[in-house]
Structure 1
Amino acid sequence: MDPKKRYEKERLDGKQQRLLIILEAAERVLTLKGIEKTTMQDIANDANIGVATLFRYFPKKEKLIVALATKLLEPLLERFQYVAELPISCLEKLEKLFDFFIEDHNNLSVKFMVDFESYASHSSEPLEDILTFNSLNRKISREYSRIIQNGIEDGSIRSGISVKDTLTTVINTFGLFSKKLSLQKNILLLESDLETDYQLAILKKILLDYLKA
């Protein structure tokens, strides 16, 4: 490789590696302290870089927050794409998506994503770079639309209901409930020995039994 090209490649690789370090540090700090209480200095300290270096990558805290939210949303898109492509029935695809939410609800990043959604919804102006995040959400919706269409065509979903409206409500309900349990696992609302995983498994069975043809 030409020395100049090799140098440029190494420089770009180094920038990408540092960007990853910054995003990983941001995830740790923002999850622990919350968006409002976290400073750029906090993140720089965790990443073991100078705050001036951090500002070269992200001139505003808001840009870093959106970049992290976008990064954390990417695995969800990949999972929906994977499930949509599987040669199985719509009902079986829904079960796999439910299993993903159950597996993921104890992930600490869920706390940040809930905080981010609240932060974005209370912002008086659209967040900078939010279009990239919204674009990912639209891609997830398109993949789920493919699964819904599968349910309309394959006969695995019972008749007498609006498949599109029902499946949209079902996935939203399960996703929101899994987030709620993730946030409240250390808060006792009712006298109960039920583990959060078990509660999600019960809801999964209720929904699948309702949908099954």
Structure 2
Amino acid sequence: MPSKRQENRQLQTDKIVKAAKELFTERGLNDVQMKDVAERAGAGVATVFRYFPKKDELIVEVAIRSLDAVEAEFRRIVSLESSAFDRLELLLDTLLDAQKADHYKAARFREAFESYASFRTEPLPEIDRYLARQRQIMDLLEPLITDGENDGSINRSIAIKPLIVTVINSYSSFTNNVALKSSISYLDQDIQPDIQQQVLKKILLDYCRAH
């Protein structure tokens, strides 16, 4: 059982990370200073630096925690008693739902984070923890992949594992991309972001469905 000191430390960490996530989502990663995080969290600047000596460490921690909801939903869906194809469709629905309501903020942050990380001349501190968390989430797909190889619900013209992983990664990237561009005024109602998301989902599922 954690001590009172450990509990207090965790609560303080959670407050700092929550404040940072809000600010990073509102302003972007580059325009937020540690003093801004301290003010939003109701903590002293020295306290924020004690928990996160570098801003990049805080950015990575926010990124890791932004995967919590995705992991929980993937775990739930993969454990369902249904065909591999039906669970794959639910996973795509989850990725689409992540662009809506409060979940959209997490998706917006992850997009900004991955862009920020890719332009670094040196790897971000603790980035291996983020990559390990992503691998952990993809590893959750193994039972679905095994079932897809055996239950006949998924097209076998391509090996099941690369097919499922590619479909999920492609749809995740695409839904993020068009959601973040939703403020652009599309002249044609037929190509609004939500229409494009649904169209791609249908294309992918039509291919994946066993014929």
TM-score by length of 1: 0.89
Q: Which sections of structure 1, spanning at least 5 residues, go unmatched?
A: none
Number of the residue aligned with 2:4? 10
Number of the residue aligned with 2:28? 34
Number of the residue aligned with 2:39? 45
Superposed, 1:106-117 pairs within 5 Å as 106=100, 107-117=104-114
Number of the residue aligned with 1:61? 55
Greater shift, 194-203 or 158-167, is seen at 194-203
Superposed, 1:1-213 pairs within 5 Å as 9-106=3-100, 107-192=104-189, 195-213=192-210
Residue 186 of structure 2 contacts residue 192 of structure 2 at CA under 8 Å; is this kept in 1?
A: no
Give the 4+ runs in structure 1 shifted more than 4 A. Answer: none
Number of aligned residues: 207
CA distance in 2, matches of 1:62, 1:198: 36
Greater shift, 97-106 or 9-18, is seen at 9-18
Query: Cα RMSD (Å) of the superposition?
Result: 1.9
Q: Which sections of structure 2, spanning at least 5 residues, go unmatched?
A: none
1:188 maps to a residue whose letter is S
CA distance in 1, matches of 2:198, 2:13: 37
CA distance in 2, matches of 1:148, 1:179: 24
Residue 62 of structure 1 contacts residue 127 of structure 1 at CA under 8 Å; is this kept in 2?
A: yes
Residue 102 of structure 1 contacts residue 197 of structure 1 at CA under 8 Å; is this kept in 2?
A: no
CA distance in 1, matches of 2:152, 2:27: 47
1:128 maps to a residue whose letter is P
Residue 16 of structure 2 contacts residue 41 of structure 2 at CA under 8 Å; is this kept in 1?
A: yes
Bigger Cα Rg: 1
Percent sequence identity over matched residues? Answer: 36
